[in-house]
Amino acid sequence: MSIEEYVIDVPRSVLADLRFRLEHTRWPSKINGAEWQYGTNLEYLEAFCAYWRDGYDWRKQEAALNKWPQYMCRVDGVDIHFWHIKGHGGAPFPLLLLHGWPGSAYEFFEMIGPLTDPAAYGGREEDAFDVVLPDLPGYGWSGKPTESGWGAARIARALNKLMTEELGYRRYGTQGGDWGAMISARLGALFPEHVAAIHLNFAFLPVPMLNRLPAEDMAMVERQQAFDQAEGAYHMIQETKCDSLTVAQTDSPAGFAAWVLEKFRTWSDCGGNLESVYSKDRLITNLMFYWAPGSIASAARLYYESLHDPETNLGAPDPQIPVPAAVARFPCDPFNRPRSWMEKHFNVVRWTEMPAGGHFAAWEQPVLLCTDVREFYRGIRAEVLENY
């Protein structure tokens, strides 16, 4: 299948069904005085779903998504939906932006303009990128794999084929957090002849590495272990019995919202006030990337597939990934890893300690992230141009 233009157009029947389900949600009983310690606060969730039902305007958001050119291309038997925005100026550098769960490609939308047309946002024209922004296979409007094996490594192979064989880029860079960082790591390990560099705001720490870290890093590791004990049930379920959960979520928009909203609240730099960082419209649009195309189950299976794929090994990188790497560490990301480990497994040439922000960096701090990406790739693009 060649690359074809694509426009998001959710059928009215899907929107009517969504409204019906929100209106007829069967709410559980409440614990008096409970806030968020049991999960998403039910009073907040009821108000949120009422707004989703009666106040949210999907068609307005859909038009904004369709503002940028988007396409569909079948790679390795699965359709990949992606936005492809050419940069301004003489020599834009190709940049693959990769999201994770429970986020979506929507996280990057505030960065598209500054990355493709930096001069219009106070930057330099020579920093422009050609942005390629896909829905990962199984996510958003991309196809849903119907066979096992679609872990991070296979996704990396498919995306490299998209970038090189379908779009014709000989060399390109990546930026990613969450699964996007794990897939970037796999791209850098598997295709150093094509991947010029990777920019990360997340990295996975395999358990066997814990006894090989310097003593001064163990405090960070212990904080991470405590967080995982308190907050890690989601990935254990999705790595083992994902479909037992996603059947309910696919049937109930309120149930899916409950599962996702508390992740955004806990993983973000919001001080416990979710809407101090994200508006309801933004949160719901992200949910719609899962609900509207029916991608809730296929997205969650990425955890199962990657856990059971020896090549992926949940993103643990090959020692050492040769391509240059930049790490932007946002202070309130609960998944932060020690620098000593990062430098052991990645060719870290830039390290930035950010003053604010959490796990969803592209949403929470788009200016900080965009600036770091621009500055990192200045040197990378100069080296690529010199060698090609």
Residues designated as active site: 178, 303, 359
The rounded Cα 255 to chain-centroid distance in angstroms is 21
Instruction: Residue 105: name the closest of 304, 288, 303, 354 by CA.
Output: 288
- Asked if residue 266 lies in contact with residue 231, where contact means CB atoms within 8 angstroms, the answer is yes
Dihedral angle, C-alpha 258, 178, 145, 52, nearest 10 ° = 30
Residue with tokens 């979506």: 104
CA distance 104 to 42: 24
Phi, psi of 93 (to 5 degrees): -95, 135
Angstrom distance (rounded) from CA 244 to CA 160: 32
What is the β-pairing status of strands 172-176 and 195-200? parallel
